[in-house]
Amino acid sequence: MISLNSGSFNYEINEYKFNRYENVSSFNYTQCCSLLNINISDEIKEEEIKEIYYIFDCPGEDAFGHWFFESFIFFDYFLEINKIHPNLKILTTNKKKYANNFFKLFKIDNEIVNNINTSHNICFFSPVLSLNDHNIDQLLFKNLINNIVNKIYTVINNNTLYENIIFLTRNAKDNYTPNDRIVHGSEDIEENIIRLGGSVLNTYNINNVKLQFDTTNSFATIILDYGSSYLVNCIFQKNKKIIVLNNFGHFSQTTIFPSVNIIHNYISNNNNVIVVNPKNGTTIEFRDIEEFLH
């Protein structure tokens, strides 16, 4: 077994540093740690066609924010390998629809598979990165954020004619199961936002990342829960009022984890971010945010 950490790499193209291994039979990331274990097969059938994979998995498994910032954020690295290997396959164990939708955003037509089909292969792994790593390479992470944001800006509509208010409800589907926090009572906020002439959006129902970002970009005020919804949807926003509902008190992560602090600072440097805590009980109600809508 080969063990890789955040400083591991054995392959480089145009200053992009990768991990490249042949005849991989399996691999697994240690949850929430910058550690990847790779198993190499010693039973190779040379007559088989050698398949080439780029791995889009991560220590955060299929949690939306983790997968985006630990895996998809290396999209430029994938493009470099794709230039060399036109038969490159995308391998991800993440079966949630948002994963495929991010590749569709860039019109990527590489075959996407969820498992290694043959150990007669070449596998490319991005540097191992975990949002939970207190020793994360901050310079690398900041550069990765700049790169992916700039790349997504080229394919989404940066509308300067802003609508009023949009409320992004927390999804009840496609969430990371071990951390599936349920927000009760959001109907109160939904009804009042509609009353004020605003809009309510459940991003799960769109099933199109470009449409999702185009839509959120067209509103002057965005209301959403803290977590992946805030960290991913708002990384592309500029000159907006962003009201973050801190229903579960997890906004403190922005001071605990360097990676989350970097993401939050990136968002707040480009927008007016207002964090709202529950005033009565455990769930934020419309009256808790009403003063910030004027």
Q: Given this model, what pLDDT does residue 180 score?
A: 47
Do 80 and 108 sit in the same domain of this protein?
Answer: yes
Q: Are residue 172 and residue 116 in the same domain, yes or no?
A: no
pLDDT of residue 2: 96
Query: Cα 271 from chain centroid?
Result: 19
Pick the closest to residue 106 from 178, 155, 60, 160 (CA basis): 155
At residue 31 the predicted structure's pLDDT band, cuts being 50, 70 and 90, is very high
Whether residue 134 sits in one domain with residue 24: yes
What pLDDT, on the 0 to 100 scale, is given for residue 281? Answer: 66
Do residues 254 and 262 lie in contact, with contact meaning Cβ atoms separated by under 8 Å?
Answer: no
Q: At what angle do helices 258-270 and 138-153 cross, to 10 degrees?
A: 40
Residue tagged 């901050």 (tokens)? 138
pLDDT-based confidence at 232, cuts 50/70/90? very high
- Domain assignment present for 158: no
Question: Does some domain include residue 155?
Answer: no
Work out the number of other CB atoms within 10 angstroms of the CB of residue 290: 12
- Are both 177 and 284 inside the same structural domain? yes
Q: What is the pLDDT of residues 163-205, one digit of tens each?
A: 899 999 976 555 444 554 555 557 899 999 999 999 999 888 8
Number of domains present in the structure of the chain = 2
In a domain, 157, yes or no: no
Q: Is the dihedral of CA 84, 152, 263, 184 positive or negative?
A: negative
Same domain? For 134 and 205 the reply is no
Cα separation, 155 vs 260, in Å, equals 25
Query: At which residue do the structure tokens 């199109």 appear?
Result: 208
Q: What is the mean pLDDT of residues 139-167?
A: 90
Question: How far is Cα 149 from Cα 145, in angstroms, rounded to an integer?
Answer: 6
Q: What is the dihedral of CA 275, 280, 284, 287, to 10 degrees?
A: -90
**Secondary structure element (H or E) that encloses residue 5, with its range:** strand 2-5
Classify residue 183: in a domain, yes or no: yes
How far apart (Å, rounded) are the C-alpha atoms in residues 67 and 74? 11
Q: Is it the case that residue 46 has pLDDT exceeding 80? A: no
Q: Is residue 156 part of a domain?
A: no
Residue 192 lies in a domain: yes
Note whether 141 and 274 are same-domain residues: no
pLDDT of residue 7: 93
Gap between the Cα atoms of 34 and 58, Å rounded: 9
pLDDT above 70: percentage of residues in the chain:
92
Residue 166, CA distances (Å) to 4, 233, 247, 268, 284 in order: 43, 12, 18, 18, 16
Secondary structure element (H or E) that encloses residue 114, with its range: none
The reply to whether 7 falls in a domain is: yes
Last residue of a domain, one of 100, 128, 150: 150
pLDDT value of position 49: 79
For residue 176, what pLDDT is reported?
40
Kindly report the pTM of this predicted structure. Answer: 0.92
Note whether 70 and 191 are same-domain residues: no
Assess whether 131 and 236 both reside in one domain: no
* Averaged pLDDT, 50-63: 96
pLDDT of residue 149: 96
Has residue 80 been placed in a domain? yes
Residues 226 and 190 placed together within one structural domain of the fold? yes
The residue range of the domain holding 131 is: 2-150
- Beta strand 89-91 pairing with 51-55: parallel
Q: Which of 120, 150, 180 is the last residue of a domain?
A: 150
Same domain? For 12 and 144 the reply is: yes
Angle at 165 (CA atoms; ends 160, 170), nearest 5 degrees? 115
pLDDT in tens, 78-126: 999 999 998 999 999 999 999 999 999 999 999 999 999 999 999 999 9
The residue among 119, 150, 181 that closes a domain is 150
Q: Is the pLDDT of residue 220 over 80?
A: yes
Do 32 and 57 share a domain, yes or no? Answer: yes
Q: Are residues 210 and 268 in the same domain?
A: yes
